[in-house]
Structure 1
Amino acid sequence: MSLSSLKPQVETILSNSDKTLDERLLSVCQLLDQEVSYYNWVGFYFKNGDKNELKLGPYVGEPTDHTIIPFGKGICGQVAVSNENFIVPDVAAQDNYIACSITVKAEIVVPLFVNGENVGQIDIDSNTPDPFTEEDERFLEYVCEQVAKLLA
């Protein structure tokens, strides 16, 4: 399955104004979790007001204790500072990794920008070693661009 084939479904979910923003984001998480076999935890983090921290938004997967992540801490916290995509092929090799589950082998985090400001990110954990490709990166950038339209 091509990730780009999911784009129309993402657009349909996000354009459903009968649902709240969180309901739409959760539906996107569910779609990605169901349709991409190596996406084992899919969620959004958003900047927590004026604080230099991220707050967990809608997600699908194992429950996490990491509902608040300080900027700079872990992969998500680093992306909040760097404003750049971060692909981790092997989480065991990362010094600044926050373990959510012992089954997680890899992670990808893509920032979400509104008017040039990093306001959040999509975070995906995989139980498969080194599964993420440039196709994943481009697709998740697209998802973030579509979500940003709702936040602008």
Structure 2
Amino acid sequence: MIFENLKPQIETIVLNKNKTVDKRLLSICELLEANITYYNWVGFYFRNGNKEELHLGPYVGEPTDHTIIPFGKGICGQVAVSNENFVVPDVTAQDNYIACSITVKAEIVIPIFVNGENIGQIDIDSNTPNPFTEADERFLEFVCAQVAMIL
């Protein structure tokens, strides 16, 4: 499966100390977006200091106005509060969804933990309805665990 083939590439990116953390995060976004057909926007959001908000980190895909997201708002903001994965098969069915693009049909957000604290998340939008499976969740948990080692 594609996820198993991508894992060693993620590990290689994470271990490349010749690149800054942001460049490594961007490389992960690029790798995922290029290799998984239904990953149409891939990015990282991180807690903004001590504020109850997330700020946008490296990403690939259409530009977004959502560079700051308050905790509790949208899918990303909800994950910042719940500390749990959030898979949205149909964004139109979510009352608290922040629309980034009219083409987005589904979203998955997986938190990143460092020393047990939720410090950010990977956010993926898909233009395909209901594409995410448990395999996506497990793979993205792996990605987040790798990313946590360099944050």
Give the TM-score range, shorter chain.
Answer: over 0.9
TM-score (norm. length: structure 1): 0.98
Report the counterpart of residue 103 of structure 1 in structure 2: 103
Percentage identity across paired residues of the two chains: 78
Which amino acid in the other structure matches residue 47 of structure 2? K
Question: Alpha-carbon deviation of 1:25?
Answer: 0.2
Counterpart-to-counterpart distance in 1, 2:59 and 2:96 = 22
Structure 2 unaligned regions, length at least 5: none
Report the counterpart of residue 77 of structure 2 in structure 1: 77
Structure 1 SS opposite 2:149: helix
Per-residue Cα deviation, 1:9-34 (whole angstroms, up to 9, x for no partner): 00001111000000000000000000
Counterpart-to-counterpart distance in 2, 1:120 and 1:18 = 23
Report the counterpart of residue 68 of structure 1 in structure 2: 68
Structure 1 segment 1-150 matched on structure 2, within 5 A: 1-150=1-150
Counterpart-to-counterpart distance in 2, 1:32 and 1:24 = 12
Question: Alpha-carbon deviation of 1:136?
Answer: 0.2
Counterpart-to-counterpart distance in 2, 1:27 and 1:36 = 14
Which amino acid in the other structure matches residue 26 of structure 1? L
Q: Provide the aligned C-alpha RMSD in A.
A: 0.5
Structure 2 SS opposite 1:150: coil
Counterpart-to-counterpart distance in 2, 1:147 and 1:37 = 22
Counterpart-to-counterpart distance in 1, 2:120 and 2:4 = 22
Question: Alpha-carbon deviation of 1:83?
Answer: 0.1
Structure 1 unaligned regions, length at least 5: none
Dislocated runs of 4+, deviation >2 Å: none
Per-residue Cα deviation, 1:44-99 (whole angstroms, up to 9, x for no partner): 00000000000000000000000000000000000000000000000000000000
Counterpart-to-counterpart distance in 2, 1:120 and 1:141 = 12
TM-score (norm. length: structure 2): 0.99
Counterpart-to-counterpart distance in 2, 1:86 and 1:4 = 22
